Amino acid sequence: MNRFLSHATNRIDAKGRVSVPSAFRAVFSDGGVRELYCFQDFVFPAISVGGPELLDRFEKQMAAEDPFSDAASQMSLLVHGGGVFVKLDPEGRLMVTDFIRDFTGISTDVTFVGRGDHFQLWEPQAFARAQAEAREGRKSRGLRPE
């Protein structure tokens, strides 16, 4: 498996850690990823999590811009200013820090959402609402997955 698919909700333990779903950990393990890049999503109240290649992808986009342009500056504010590196502990748990809690509203549970080449951390009810809105938006436009 080389993609992050599906979603799962796990409870944060008394020490502020949450177990990353085993299927998601397997993607990192298969790729030899030890350090995770996390950033505040550009659209949703979610933290996006991927390997270092995710940050590399954004930095390549920025490098294609004039380094003094508004676009490059804004991207850096989001990608660098809204990002951190984290590591999973030996049991595959992630520390749910204030960086995560403050941006997402997560308190007791975390919903892990596969997004193909990365996954996201969501407050469970916020994810349910966003997914329902996405489904309804596609339905109202007569769109279906093909």
What DSSP line would sit under 15-70, residue for residue?
A: TSEEEPPHHHHHHHHHTT--SEEEEE-SSSSSEEEE-HHHHHHHHHHHHTS-TTSH
* CA 134/CA 128 separation, integer angstroms: 10
Mean pLDDT of 36-46: 96
pLDDT of residue 145: 65
User: Global pTM?
Assistant: 0.91
pLDDT per position as a tens digit, 74-133: 999 999 999 999 999 999 999 999 999 999 999 999 999 999 999 999 999 999 999 999
Is pLDDT of 137 > 90? no
User: Of 68-77, 98-107, 136-145, where does the model show the most confidence?
Assistant: 98-107
What count of other Cβ atoms lies within 10 Å of the Cβ of residue 105? 12
Mean pLDDT of 43-54: 96
* CA 122/CA 142 separation, integer angstroms: 27
High-pLDDT (> 70) share of the chain, %: 97
DSSP H helix total and E strand total for the chain: 5, 8
